[in-house]
């Protein structure tokens, strides 16, 4: 759970979207369609894993099969694309993002490429000079450990570089916030402000001698600052930042995400972008505020849950998942472990809820038919979540729950087969690699290092693998993550971290496509290339099955396609008249003579 993939970001791309302002009045059999021929098409459909060609019309897949089978859909206005043997696959679905806040970081200052404190200072100074009028500076990516004399940053550096405006920089794992004096003043935080210890729980890091806040907010204490920051951000500025992130996602083949935190206002923001015809990533949002913030299941909160599920149930903006945080992270000793941390004898972290609290909360949500996902990093939190899930199954009986556990960085061997036994989805976001000498390795200790990141042991008994990034903790780009999952290496030439826990390409592609559609209850619409499904698809620069695992991270996306309504058509539909649903495409670098027409149909003389 840390930024390690900054160098994988695609440097540039040329993008054309559908114009969104033309209404089709033609009969269905006259509408234009697109044929993709001569491809190596990974369908993610176990009954037909591979195909040569595919036909799309009005945002739906008409046919998947051989060139001959697809050719029968060719008409006088058909657009034909020769894939030239390139690999096509379903659009990637990321199981775990924080898309809104990631967009703030992507549009803000990123320090994850820094290699030392001097680098961080230089990046911040450059950003301050380039953005003199930005009223509230936000960024992300700072690491724990030896960069800082005390192990954590302090407000002093930010105060010096941003003396006249609030500045907030998120840590690499998203669980701590580095802030300056202006940001604390805006939130009313002083030496007398207590650590939050109710529904919100966290730590305001303080100077041990003076009691003054040093400039880091851990876990739920972050929300004291973030709430103020969000209320000071104009809606149009939020849209601007999100457009940057949407473009970034499409550049890397992402067509759908699950947001692991969010609320009704955030979903309303996505819905507004959708109504404008600007939302190019499908958004399923789990209801949760932030790390260290507990659900109360008060009447008001339950009403919000029910309202969100009722209001947001389309193919583009969806609700229905409730997210819980069972613990924190290993780097700050806030992950709940079964045994004490190696470097803090007697301390093993605590769960944010007791087992009994989780049982009762999960029972209530299950009675109401909600899906649940639980953040659990330490082996103590993983066991607590599994025990609570198992209790609900026994009490309420079988149901198509599709409940999930996230991260699972340490899992006791006795608990690994329980995911398959209980039907719990294992939602991993592969990163690598912990080692002694960094906070994660030193806190877990040498004796337990081999228990870290036990991906294969959890999946092999039959658990459903769900893949993602935890964006912005890791890059949204799925291909470096797949390479990490396959190699268990941080970089080329390095020793693999317990390679017996590596995942296969087959497992991970399923995890990024059909399995993730299943986790969202969207498997009838997306996740595989099958007749009748939405045409969420991507074309790659190289065939993942014809290269070494060490090259997967270099993959570029040449085309990202999907389906969206245009706004004029929606107005037409409201009047009861026929409307047009356009297939949209994002044409990325390396495609040569490919472009989109006003109706978002592709024409080409072949791939470059």
Each residue's pLDDT tens digit, 239-285: 999 999 999 999 999 999 999 999 999 999 999 999 999 999 999 99
Instruction: Kindly state the average pLDDT of the residues 415-431.
Output: 97
CB 365 within 8 A of CB 309: no
CB 79 within 8 A of CB 35: yes
- Same domain (yes/no): 133, 40: no
In a domain, residue 352? The reply is yes
User: How does pLDDT run across 370-409, given as a tens digit for each residue?
Assistant: 999 999 999 999 999 999 999 999 999 999 999 999 999 9
Query: What is the spatial distance between Cα 440 and Cα 331, in angstroms, rounded to a whole number?
Result: 5
- Same domain (yes/no): 499, 591: no
Q: What local confidence, expressed as pLDDT, does residue 572 receive?
A: 29
9 vs 534, more confident: 534
- Same domain (yes/no): 481, 544: no
Provide the b/e sequence for 237-248 (b: ≥16 CB within 10 Å): ebeebbbebbbb
- Same domain (yes/no): 74, 190: no
Tell me which of 13-22, 46-55, 480-489 is least confident: 13-22
Confidence of residue 585 (pLDDT cuts 50, 70, 90): low
Q: What local confidence, expressed as pLDDT, does residue 113 receive?
A: 85
DSSP one-letter code for 594: E
Q: Residues of the chain with pLDDT > 90: what percent?
A: 71
* Tokens describing residue 21: 């302002």
In a domain, residue 387? The reply is yes
Q: Residues of the chain with pLDDT > 70: what percent?
A: 87
Q: What local confidence, expressed as pLDDT, does residue 375 receive?
A: 97
> Last residue of a domain, which of 182, 199, 231?
231
* Tokens describing residue 292: 């260290």
Provide the b/e sequence for 445-477 (b: ≥16 CB within 10 Å): eeebbebbbbbbbbbeeebbbbbbbbbbbbbbb
- CATH number, domain containing residue 33: 2.30.40.10
What are the residue ranges of helices labelled H in 397-504?
Answer: 418-422, 439-444, 455-459, 478-487
- Same domain (yes/no): 82, 107: no
- Same domain (yes/no): 334, 403: yes
How far, CA to CA in Å, does 441 sit from each of 84, 273, 545?
46, 42, 33
- Same domain (yes/no): 497, 353: yes
In this model, does residue 571 exceed pLDDT 60? no
Query: What is the spatial distance between Cα 57 and Cα 78, in angstroms, rounded to a whole number?
Result: 9
Tell me which of 108-112, 126-130, 373-377 is least confident: 108-112
Cα torsion 342, 343, 346, 350 to 10°: value is -80
Query: What is the spatial distance between Cα 470 and Cα 358, in angstroms, rounded to a whole number?
Result: 23
Q: What local confidence, expressed as pLDDT, does residue 204 receive?
A: 94
In a domain, residue 152? The reply is yes
Q: What local confidence, expressed as pLDDT, does residue 31 receive?
A: 57
Residues 6 or more apart from 208 whose CB is under 8 A from it? none
User: How does pLDDT run across 529-553, given as a tens digit for each residue?
Assistant: 999 999 999 999 999 999 999 999 9
Number of domains in the chain: 3
Residues 6 or more apart from 182 whose CB is under 8 A from it? 159, 162, 163, 164, 165, 166, 167
* Tokens describing residue 113: 């490429």
Query: What is the spatial distance between Cα 390 and Cα 592, in angstroms, rounded to a whole number?
Result: 54
CB 474 within 8 A of CB 429: yes
Nearest to 347 by CA among 365, 334, 360, 364: 334
The average confidence (pLDDT) of the chain is: 86
CB 179 within 8 A of CB 166: yes
Q: Within 10 Å of residue 597's Cβ, how many Cβ atoms?
A: 14
Provide the angle, in degrees to the nearest 10, between the axes of the packed helices 379-396 and 355-367.
Answer: 40
Residues 6 or more apart from 298 whose CB is under 8 A from it? none
Q: What local confidence, expressed as pLDDT, does residue 141 receive?
A: 86
Cα torsion 554, 509, 99, 349 to 10°: value is -100
Confidence of residue 201 (pLDDT cuts 50, 70, 90): confident
In a domain, residue 551? The reply is yes
Domain range spanning residue 221?
Answer: 102-231
Cα torsion 593, 594, 595, 597 to 10°: value is 110
In this model, does residue 597 exceed pLDDT 50? no
- Same domain (yes/no): 147, 79: no
In a domain, residue 256? The reply is no
Tell me which of 407-411, 475-479, 480-484, 577-581 is least confident: 577-581
> Last residue of a domain, which of 504, 520, 553?
504
- Same domain (yes/no): 340, 378: yes
> Last residue of a domain, which of 182, 209, 231?
231
Instruction: Kindly state the average pLDDT of the residues 342-370.
Output: 97
Output the CA angle 335-336-341, nearest 5 degrees.
80
- Same domain (yes/no): 52, 162: no
- CATH number, domain containing residue 215: 3.10.310.70
CB 191 within 8 A of CB 212: yes
- CATH number, domain containing residue 416: 3.20.20.140
- Same domain (yes/no): 78, 148: no
Query: What is the spatial distance between Cα 20 and Cα 417, in angstroms, rounded to a whole number?
Result: 49
Provide the angle, in degrees to the nearest 10, between the axes of the packed helices 264-275 and 299-311.
Answer: 20
In a domain, residue 370? The reply is yes
Query: What is the spatial distance between Cα 388 and Cα 424, in angstroms, rounded to a whole number?
Result: 12
In a domain, residue 538? The reply is yes
In a domain, residue 519? The reply is no
Provide the b/e sequence for 378-410 (b: ≥16 CB within 10 Å): bbbbbbbbbebbebbbeeeeeeebbbbbbbbbb
φ, ψ dihedrals at 148, nearest 5°: -110, 135
User: How does pLDDT run across 27-72, given as a tens digit for each residue?
Assistant: 334 357 999 999 999 999 999 999 999 999 999 999 999 999 999 9
In this model, does residue 420 exceed pLDDT 90? yes
pTM of the model: 0.84
* Tokens describing residue 585: 């495409």
Burial of 234 (0-12, 13-18, 19+ CB in 10 A): exposed
17 vs 446, more confident: 446
- Same domain (yes/no): 386, 478: yes
Query: What is the spatial distance between Cα 155 and Cα 181, in angstroms, rounded to a whole number?
Result: 6
Confidence of residue 98 (pLDDT cuts 50, 70, 90): very high
Query: What is the spatial distance between Cα 215 and Cα 225, in angstroms, rounded to a whole number?
Result: 11
């Amino acid at each position: 759970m840390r930024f390690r993939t900054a160098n994988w970001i695609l440097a540039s791309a040329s993008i054309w979207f559908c114009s969104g302002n033309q209404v089709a009045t033609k009969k269905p059999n006259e509408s234009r369609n697109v044929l993709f021929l001569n491809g190596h098409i990974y369908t993610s459909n176990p009954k037909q894993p591979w195909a040569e060609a595919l036909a799309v019309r009005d945002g739906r897949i008409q046919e998947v099969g051989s060139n001959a089978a697809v050719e029968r859909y060719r008409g006088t206005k058909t657009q034909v694309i020769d894939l030239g043997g390139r690999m096509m696959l379903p659009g990637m679905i990321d199981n775990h993002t924080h898309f809104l806040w990631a967009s703030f970081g992507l549009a803000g200052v990123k320090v994850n490429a820094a290699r030392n404190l001097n680098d961080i200072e230089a990046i911040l100074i450059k950003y301050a000079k380039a953005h003199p009028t930005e009223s509230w500076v936000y960024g992300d990516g700072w690491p724990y450990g030896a960069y800082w004399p005390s192990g954590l940053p302090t407000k002093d550096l930010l105060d010096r570089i941003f003396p006249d405006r609030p500045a907030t920089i998120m840590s690499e794992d998203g669980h701590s916030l580095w802030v300056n004096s202006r940001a604390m003043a805006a939130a009313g935080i002083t030496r007398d402000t207590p650590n939050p210890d109710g529904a919100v729980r966290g730590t305001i890091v303080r100077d041990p001698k003076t009691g003054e806040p040093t400039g880091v907010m851990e876990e739920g204490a972050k929300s004291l600052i973030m709430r103020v920051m969000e209320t000071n951000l104009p809606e149009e500025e939020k849209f601007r930042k999100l457009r940057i992130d949407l473009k970034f996602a499409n550049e890397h083949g992402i067509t759908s995400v699950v947001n692991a935190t969010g609320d009704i206002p955030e979903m309303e923001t996505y819905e507004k972008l959708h109504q404008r015809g600007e939302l190019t990533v499908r958004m399923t949002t789990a209801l949760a505020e932030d790390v260290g913030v507990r659900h109360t299941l008060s009447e008001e909160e339950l009403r919000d849950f029910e309202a969100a599920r009722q209001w947001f149930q389309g193919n583009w903006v969806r609700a229905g998942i409730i997210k819980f945080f069972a613990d924190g992270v290993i780097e700050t000793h806030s992950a709940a472990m079964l045994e004490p941390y190696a470097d803090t004898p007697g301390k093993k972290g605590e769960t944010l809820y007791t087992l009994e609290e989780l049982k009762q909360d999960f029972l209530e949500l299950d009675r109401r038919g909600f899906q649940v996902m639980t953040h659990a990093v330490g082996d103590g939190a993983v066991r607590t979540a599994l025990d609570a899930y198992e209790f609900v199954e026994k009490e309420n009986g079988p149901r198509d729950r599709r409940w999930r556990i996230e991260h699972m960085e340490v899992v006791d061997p006795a608990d690994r087969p329980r995911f398959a036994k209980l039907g719990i989805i294992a939602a991993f976001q592969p990163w690598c690699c912990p080692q002694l000498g960094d906070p994660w390795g030193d806190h877990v200790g040498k004796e337990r290092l081999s228990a870290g990141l036990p991906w294969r042991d959890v999946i092999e008994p039959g658990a459903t693998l769900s893949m993602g990034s935890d964006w912005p903790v890791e890059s949204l780009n799925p291909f470096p993550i797949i390479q990490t999952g396959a190699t268990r290496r941080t970089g080329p030439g390095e020793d693999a971290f317990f390679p017996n826990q590596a995942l296969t390409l087959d497992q991970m592609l399923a995890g990024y496509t059909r399995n993730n559609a299943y986790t969202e209850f969207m498997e009838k619409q997306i996740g595989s290339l099958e007749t009748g499904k939405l045409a969420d698809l991507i074309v790659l620069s190289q065939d993942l099955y014809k290269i070494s695992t060490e090259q997967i991270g270099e993959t570029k996306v040449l085309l990202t396609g999907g389906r969206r309504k245009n706004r004029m058509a929606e107005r037409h539909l409201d009047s009861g008249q026929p409307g047009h649903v356009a297939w949209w495409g994002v044409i990325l670098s390396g495609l040569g003579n490919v472009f989109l027409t006003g109706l978002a149909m592709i024409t080409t003389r072949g791939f470059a």
